[in-house]
A = this chain, B = another copy of it.
């Protein structure tokens, strides 16, 4: 027997896809290098709770090196991937030497999709990473501090918070902000009427949660409205400005300093620079085994991938798809090494859920069972604790949740970086600024 060099597997991204691929390979006879721009895995489903002061960053993030502490054959590298040299089999990195691979898994995830809405990329707040979540938290809390210190800012819309998108991301963040205001900020502010704050959820379609059963859609709508969220269905966003948003065809003008964008996502920028076939939202179209066509030994998994669902479409952008595709790509690499034929990814749908707030959630299980209210909420809590990485994080999240639940308080409501708010554009009853009026034939809200 001759000594063989172990195959080198490089995994781009330590999200659900990349992390699960690496875990599936950590016991195998391969060298694994995982690269991510951050030094931690982010548990995206709970990011909105960091944004609304419910959880600490470290509760929903897990140090990437901690994942592989006892696996000396798995290396982590913090770095920015700039491209792939397919011919030479090299991953290109900013500031660093390129990294050779024998097998490659691309799992770099998604970013916000602004669908070309003017001003959205400049002024709206996405919620796809830990820095995004901390920025939303700092900004959100600072809006109320600014309103308290300078009442003229309220008239100029500083307490109007607009959430775009009626999918799970949008309803979760809108519900959490509404509860933050009524449960927490109302007790915090003694001489500011925080009920003057408006949370406006804008959805282009005619219902919330399009992927859910209509009963659950109706429940979510009622729950959100009962929490004080103004839900505007069949309403498109026309333009986002620094201190306003224009809604609908008529250009309904709402002064606001905070538009949170939860209206959909697209593949990370890296997908555009790989020279591969791209599907909806710029996702990398894969073969049914998650491999990238015409790129030997390369795979795409999770939100950056458009994996055929066998029915002419692609698999949805869900955590479960990312987890399963990550594991599947790892398995295909081992099959290649063992010279076995590849297999097709069959997605096991475990059901979908979304939470609206305290004791309010919806869940749709694969056997057709529908849950709302307390049972759905309890299921949601339990499932998220199970899927969260790391025992310390589970304990800390449980403690923070229990604390919020019983005390109606939220610990981590810290403004770690205070944004400055420009003063209102004019005095008097607030009307749209002339430049916006001139560009659109608009009516004031």
Contacting residues, chain B, for A77 (C-beta < 8 A) = 148-149
Question: Given A63-B188, A418-B78 in contact, is the A409-B392 Cβ separation under 8 Å?
Answer: yes
Instruction: Check A412–B149 contact: CB distance below 8 A.
Output: no
CB nearest neighbor in B for A65: B188
Contacting residues, chain B, for A56 (C-beta < 8 A) = 56-59, 412
Instruction: Check B39–A78 contact: CB distance below 8 A.
Output: no
Give chain A interface residues in 400-445, CB to chain B under 8 Å: 400, 403, 407, 409, 411-418, 420
CB nearest neighbor in B for A56: B56
Give chain A interface residues in 119-137, CB to chain B under 8 Å: 130-131, 134
Question: Given A69-B188, A396-B399 in contact, is the A58-B95 Cβ separation under 8 Å?
Answer: no
Give chain A interface residues in 140-180, CB to chain B under 8 Å: 141-142, 145, 148-150
CB nearest neighbor in B for A407: B392
Instruction: Check B412–A57 contact: CB distance below 8 A.
Output: yes
A38 within 8 A of B: yes
Contacting residues, chain B, for A189 (C-beta < 8 A) = 65
Shortest CB–CB separation between residue A257 and chain B, in angstroms? Answer: 15
A5 within 8 A of B: no
Pairs of residues from A and B, 10 with the lowest C-beta to C-beta distance, nearest first? A58-B412, A65-B188, A78-B145, A56-B56, A39-B415, A392-B411, A96-B149, A63-B413, A40-B414, A392-B403
Instruction: Check A75–B191 contact: CB distance below 8 A.
Output: yes
A61 within 8 A of B: yes
Contacting residues, chain B, for A407 (C-beta < 8 A) = 392
Instruction: Check B415–A78 contact: CB distance below 8 A.
Output: yes
Contacting residues, chain B, for A75 (C-beta < 8 A) = 190-191
Give chain A interface residues in 26-66, CB to chain B under 8 Å: 37-40, 56-59, 61, 63, 65-66
Shortest CB–CB separation between residue A73 and chain B, in angstroms? Answer: 8
Instruction: Check A61–B396 contact: CB distance below 8 A.
Output: no
Instruction: Check A39–B392 contact: CB distance below 8 A.
Output: no
Question: A327 CA to B409 CA in the complex, in Å?
Answer: 27
